[in-house]
Structure 1
Amino acid sequence: MIQMILTGLLCGALLGFVMQRGRFCLTGGFRDMFLTKDNRMFYALLIAIAIQSIGVYTLIHVGVFEFNAGTLPIIAVIIGSFIFGIGIIFAGGCATGTWYRAGEGLIGSWIALAGYMLMAAVMKSGVLLPLDTAVKEVQLENNSIAATLGVNIWILVGIFGLAVGFIVYRTLRKPKVKIPGLKPKRTGLAHILFEKRWHPFVTAILVGLIAILAWPLSVATGRISGLGITTPSANILQYLVTGELSFINWGVFLVLGIFLGSLFAAKMSGEFRFRLPDLRTTIHSFSGGLMMGFGAALAGGCSIGNGLVMTAMMTWQGWISLAFMILGTWTASYFVYVRPRKKAKQTTHAVPA
């Protein structure tokens, strides 16, 4: 138990610190792909996936643990991921983003987190469990992309790694945009850690390395998995309601560590402050949290569990989920951002009769 607590909190704190300081927000990244054609955060995600894929399959190759991709609940993954994508726009952050922004003192993220944990628990052990089970009954036998194509997994990992390397090379060759900033208050390491603006690609490398670290630390406690947010978040609420210790696992301490790491980073960088949302934002945050919990539980993972981890494991679940997550985000972005602007322009240019 002590090992579980310490390693889970440590890994989570590292992730929370890095994501908070690096502003590693996948919700904003997916949204910006649609609204401003800015793909940098998406490319950062691809970097983290590539690094994790190489690292984890190296661990598997040397016998640290075994991995089985299992079957593919195709309908659940598609529907759940699309709903999750819609939810993160209303909530103002994905599952991990909500945890780390809660550590910054953002009350709206606390509200979204409450809805997320509640609905995830309801789906996993509450009144919606029969629905979750029924939708997941539609299964495709093979979830491994390599097995489906009949190729060695390292061929896929190698091709993907080269493709990501080419994208990074092309992106870094573009002219840099200078961002004006205040004169730093600190120097040296303190400036780099708590003041300097982190490049999203540097943040992605660190996230990828932490994702690799999560696997052996988690496996050592009997949990054969890497980073995961939805089930551990539901487990916290399930434990508080039932008092059953079986709900306490390495993942629970991982998500608690994300909060603590983000809190420390926000405090040290001067970015922590309590911010109360207005009524409209409160409603959006809670409803978005509910959609996140429903979608992630149904899809078997969130933007981290599916979008970062299962993609790195080269599974159909991961990549199909990521595609429909992005589609859901774009759909919600249209109705939340684009459509109101179009209506406002039409109203402004309307000529009175």
Structure 2
Amino acid sequence: METIAEFVEWLGEDRGLALGGLLIGALFGFFAQRSQFCLRAAVVEVARAQFGPKLAVWLLAFSAAIILTQSLLLAGQFDTGNVRQLASQGSMSGAAIGGLLFGIGMVLARGCSSRLLVLAANGNLRALLSGLIFAVTAQASMNGILSPWREALAGLWTIDGGHARDLLALTGMGRSSGLLFGIAWLAAGIWFARRYQVKAWGWIGGLGAGLMVGVAWWFTWRLAGLLFEPTPVQSLSFTGPSADVLMLVLSPPGQQLNFDLGMVPGVFLGSFIAAWFARELKLEGFQGGHAMRRYIIGAVLMGFGGMLAGGCAVGAGVSGASVFAVTAWVTLTGMWLGASLTDWLVDRQGAASFRNLAAPSAP
């Protein structure tokens, strides 16, 4: 505790938050790049009944986030009293609709928002463009032209904060049950990882990416108790933070720094370093106008859906799930359903129709 206080006093409150976000984000980006952590890839494997290493890596990250977060809660090293996903009013309609839209979008864009950021740092220009469109749409959904639509959909069904948003409280289960739940998913992840011979970096990167979620909860909670200005207790997320970074770039200098403004560039930096050491830096572009349209539509759906749901595949699907926020679990379910349906309609049925059209007709 004293070390963190000295750290903040030395740097200043806003720079201390931003530097912490930068370091945690860089580690997440490094681990995510080395393990190829991606919710879309995991969903596609399950939807096609072709279970493999992508599902194993996602389960390792998901379970690690839950285990560390619940362990911190049990040890008194973290408290959810000021966590937005639990303390404030939530939207069940926004979580359900936003999750579906985000799931559809991440299949069309071939990656969720965090995956696009990781790929963009490796030289993927498709991911770079999609990420920029995602950030613009998120900002338009938060405070711009799309905000009335977001507010209308979010207002269809709301729930109060507190116990009403805490899945463990609603079910009468305690923190120990949350920890056991995470351990069960870790066991599943280990089984899949062994079954499909996940390489060392898949193990290390998957677990490391998930642990960064718990570390972020702990770091922001610690600083919230030290700083004079009110500071949100938060973990990794990419919808709102991407929009904030976009506005930082477009706004005049002097904007106050925070955790998010350090975290997003940190993920980019960490992924770049990982790809550089692995010699995986490579410029990649679009192949035809149809592919570009697909990525753009996907990015727009993710930007609006993520802001409507209050989180992305990491923000809701891992960070929010690790504190057992009801809306986060609804969002995660919607993402799995939307992504599975889109993969079947677009990538499987659509590809089959194209092959039938391209096949030579019988004489």
TM-score bucket (shorter structure): 0.7 to 0.9
How far residue 250 of structure 1 moved from its aligned partner, in angstroms, is: 0.5
> Cα–Cα, structure 1 residues 268 and 32, in superposed 2: closer, same or farther, change >3 Å?
same
Q: Matched residues in 2 for 1:172 and 1:7: separation?
A: 31
Matched, 1:334 2:353: no
> Cα–Cα, structure 1 residues 2 and 162, in superposed 2: closer, same or farther, change >3 Å?
closer
> Cα–Cα, structure 1 residues 24 and 168, in superposed 2: closer, same or farther, change >3 Å?
closer
| SS at 1:60 equivalent | helix
Letter in 1 for 2:284: R
Q: What is the match of residue 165 of structure 2?
A: 143
Identify the match of residue 175 of structure 2 among 153, 158, 172: 153
Q: Matched residues in 1 for 2:312 and 2:244: separation?
A: 15
Q: What is the match of residue 120 of structure 2?
A: 102
Q: What is the match of residue 250 of structure 1?
A: 259
> Cα–Cα, structure 1 residues 166 and 130, in superposed 2: closer, same or farther, change >3 Å?
same
Q: Matched residues in 2 for 1:11 and 1:315: separation?
A: 22
Matched, 1:324 2:334: yes
Letter in 1 for 2:102: F
Query: What's the % identity of the aligned pairs?
Result: 24
Identify the match of residue 129 of structure 1 among 147, 154, 171: 147
Q: What is the match of residue 296 of structure 2?
A: 286
Q: Matched residues in 1 for 2:323 and 2:329: separation?
A: 10
User: How is 1:161-240 mapped onto 2 (pairs within 5 angstroms)?
Assistant: 161-168=182-189, 170-171=191-192, 174=195, 176=197, 197-219=199-221, 220=223, 222-240=231-249
Identify the match of residue 46 of structure 2 among 23, 26, 33: 33
Q: What is the match of residue 68 of structure 2?
A: 55
How far residue 305 of structure 1 moved from its aligned partner, in angstroms, is: 0.5
Matched, 1:260 2:282: no
Q: What runs of 5+ residues in structure 2 fail to find an aligned partner?
A: 1-13, 225-230
Q: What is the match of residue 194 of structure 1?
A: none
| SS at 1:326 equivalent | helix
Q: Is the 8 A contact 1:13 1:259 kept in 2?
A: yes
Give the length in aligned residue pairs: 333
Letter in 2 for 1:272: L
Q: Is the 8 A contact 1:48 1:204 kept in 2?
A: yes
Q: Matched residues in 2 for 1:175 and 1:2: separation?
A: 43
Q: Matched residues in 1 for 2:305 and 2:171: separation?
A: 28
> Cα–Cα, structure 1 residues 170 and 60, in superposed 2: closer, same or farther, change >3 Å?
closer
Letter in 2 for 1:46: L
| SS at 2:158 equivalent | coil
| SS at 1:270 equivalent | coil
Q: Is the 8 A contact 1:108 1:281 kept in 2?
A: no
- Shifted more, 105-114 versus 68-77: the winner is 68-77
Q: Matched residues in 1 for 2:98 and 2:148: separation?
A: 15
Deviations 1:110-136 (A, max 9, x none): 110111000100111112222222222
> Cα–Cα, structure 1 residues 226 and 245, in superposed 2: closer, same or farther, change >3 Å?
farther
RMSD across aligned C-alpha pairs, in angstroms? Answer: 2.4
How far residue 72 of structure 1 moved from its aligned partner, in angstroms, is: 3.6
Identify the match of residue 309 of structure 1 among 305, 319, 322: 319
Q: What is the match of residue 228 of structure 2?
A: none
Q: Matched residues in 1 for 2:196 and 2:297: separation?
A: 41
Matched, 1:120 2:138: yes
Q: What runs of 5+ residues in structure 1 fail to find an aligned partner?
A: 178-196
TM-score (norm 1): 0.86
